[in-house]
């Protein structure tokens, strides 16, 4: 299935938590300042903008599966193009790849990691963070409790992997020096309704009849307005 489009302007307003989570991931790339870096799954480019400040003598390229997200990123003056990361090919390999809050939206991590490996120069580094095993467990429990008929029998949109699965998949794709670990991160959004609608439940809502969408979000929020994120951090290097 191709990646879905997003409500980019709402995501831009709601994504303070994602920007906060991304800062440590950027730090882990330990950039000199002259590298070519890919932001894989750039969203509206808020994280990409911070990344670009770290490579004043280098270059940032941004990729996202959603045209609306790419349009927002370009408004920030960043070179961006639309592609499914699981099918990614770059004209020129990069020295490093950053990816935040994206891999768990992609069903086939084996294929994804193979494409990212091919996009890196030998010795190139990957620093990523996405939802990992147990991510937003309280929200999933609320979704299950609400039990909307249109969602029954569906596995859901997320691929929350464990560190062990991820380490094995990265090594099989040809990466070395692999580190993968989980990190709990509580998010209490200022505007829970808009945040859940845009950032967490977008794929669920697409499966519901229009008139059920707002009541569904309200019903999920009745179980709690916070989200217990569990982030999967990833560091790896192309041999």
Ligand X SMILES: C[S@@+](CC[C@H](N)C(=O)[O-])C[C@H]1O[C@@H](n2cnc3c(N)ncnc32)[C@H](O)[C@@H]1O
Contact residues for ligand X, defined by CB under 6 A: 3, 6, 15, 18, 22, 41-43, 46-47, 64-66, 69, 84-86, 100-102, 105-106
CB neighbours (10 Å) of residue 34?
11
Give the nearer residue to ligand X in terms of CB position, either 177 or 191. 191
Give the nearer residue to ligand X in terms of CB position, either 103 or 175. 103
Q: How many angstroms separate the CA atoms of 202 and 22, rounded?
A: 21
CB neighbours (10 Å) of residue 168?
15
Give the nearer residue to ligand X in terms of CB position, either 87 or 177. 87
How many CA atoms are closer than 13 Å to the CA of 84, on its beta-carbon side? Answer: 13
**What is the closest distance, in whole angstroms, from the C-beta atom of residue 163 to ligand X in the complex?**
20
**What is the closest distance, in whole angstroms, from the C-beta atom of residue 66 to ligand X in the complex?**
4
Q: How many angstroms separate the CA atoms of 123 and 176, rounded?
A: 9
**What is the closest distance, in whole angstroms, from the C-beta atom of residue 199 to ligand X in the complex?**
6
Give the nearer residue to ligand X in terms of CB position, either 231 or 238. 231
Give the nearer residue to ligand X in terms of CB position, either 86 or 221. 86
* Stretch (H or E) spanning 11: helix 8-14
**What is the closest distance, in whole angstroms, from the C-beta atom of residue 58 to ligand X in the complex?**
19
Give the CB-nearest residue to ligand X: 43
DSSP annotation of 152 reads T
Measured in whole angstroms, how far is the alpha carbon of residue 118 from the centre of its chain?
Answer: 20
Quickly list DSSP for 181-228: EEEEEEE--SSHHHHIIIIISHHHHHTS-HHHHHHHHHHHHTT-S-EE
**What is the closest distance, in whole angstroms, from the C-beta atom of residue 138 to ligand X in the complex?**
18
H helices of 64-135, in order, are 67-75, 109-119
Give the nearer residue to ligand X in terms of CB position, either 196 or 215. 196
**What is the closest distance, in whole angstroms, from the C-beta atom of residue 149 to ligand X in the complex?**
26
């Amino acid at each position: 299935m191709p990646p879905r489009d997003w409500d980019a302007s709402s995501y831009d307003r709601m994504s303070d938590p994602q920007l906060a989570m991304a800062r440590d991931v950027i730090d882990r790339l330990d950039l000199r300042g002259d590298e070519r870096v890919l932001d894989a799954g750039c969203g509206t480019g808020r994280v990409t903008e911070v990344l670009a400040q770290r490579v004043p003598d280098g270059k940032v390229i941004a990729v996202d599966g959603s045209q609306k997200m790419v349009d927002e990123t370009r408004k920030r003056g960043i070179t961006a193009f639309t592609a499914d990361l699981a099918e990614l090919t770059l004209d020129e390999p990069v020295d490093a790849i950053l990816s935040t809050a994206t891999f768990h939206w992609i069903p086939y991590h084996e294929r994804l990691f193979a494409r990212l490996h091919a996009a890196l120069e030998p010795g190139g580094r990957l620093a990523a963070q996405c939802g990992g095993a147990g991510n937003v467990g309280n929200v999933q429990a609320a979704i299950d409790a609400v039990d909307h008929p249109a969602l029954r029998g569906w596995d859901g949109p997320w691929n929350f992997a464990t560190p062990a699965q991820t380490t094995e998949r990265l090594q099989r794709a040809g990466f070395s020096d692999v580190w993968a670990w989980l990190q709990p991160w509580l998010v209490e959004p200022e505007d829970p309704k808009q945040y859940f609608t845009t950032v967490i439940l977008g794929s669920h809502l697409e499966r519901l009849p229009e008139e059920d969408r707002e009541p569904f979000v309200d019903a999920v929020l009745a179980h709690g307005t916070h989200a217990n994120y569990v982030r999967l951090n990833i560091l790896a290097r192309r041999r």
